[in-house]
Amino acid sequence: MKKSTTVSSENVADKPVVVQSDDGSVRVWLRMTRFGLWVRRERRRADEHARLVQSVVFRDTQGFERWCDSDSIRFDYPIVSSTVKREGGALLDDHEHSPKPQPGRWQSCPAAEVREHRVANSNGR
């Protein structure tokens, strides 16, 4: 698994974590917001003419884990799935044990500033 971190003067924890398959057909963004864990999942078809994009916010670890366990990518991309579950769980744990942000604070999500995790599939995809 290839990991890279974007370095800047801003807090790295405010940047989304991106997990994607080697072939690029599955990509998942994870980021803590004041509302909870924001997850964006994108799945592209092999012909690249269609893609499915889901965006959801989880307030607790149990809901996030249930979503991960029911996601179909766990069969086709098991390493991507386990990495998403691990990274998202760590973000939620950190969030649950940190002081709450002040009301009215909004965290932006600049697309260019991300930490990426590229993972290889155990089935060679």
Domain ranges in the chain are 2-119
User: Helix, strand, or coil here: 63?
Assistant: helix
Please tell me which residue, 95 or 104, carries the higher pLDDT value.
95
**Rounded to whole angstroms, how far apart are CA atoms 30 and 113?**
13
- Amino acid identity of residue 10, one-letter, is E
**Rounded to whole angstroms, how far apart are CA atoms 115 and 12?**
8
> Which tens digit of pLDDT belongs to each residue from 47-88?
778 888 999 999 999 999 999 999 989 999 999 999 999 999
Going by DSSP bridges, is the β-strand pair 36-44/51-58 parallel, antiparallel, or unpaired?
antiparallel
Q: What is the DSSP letter of 14?
A: G
> Which tens digit of pLDDT belongs to each residue from 13-36?
568 999 999 988 999 999 999 889
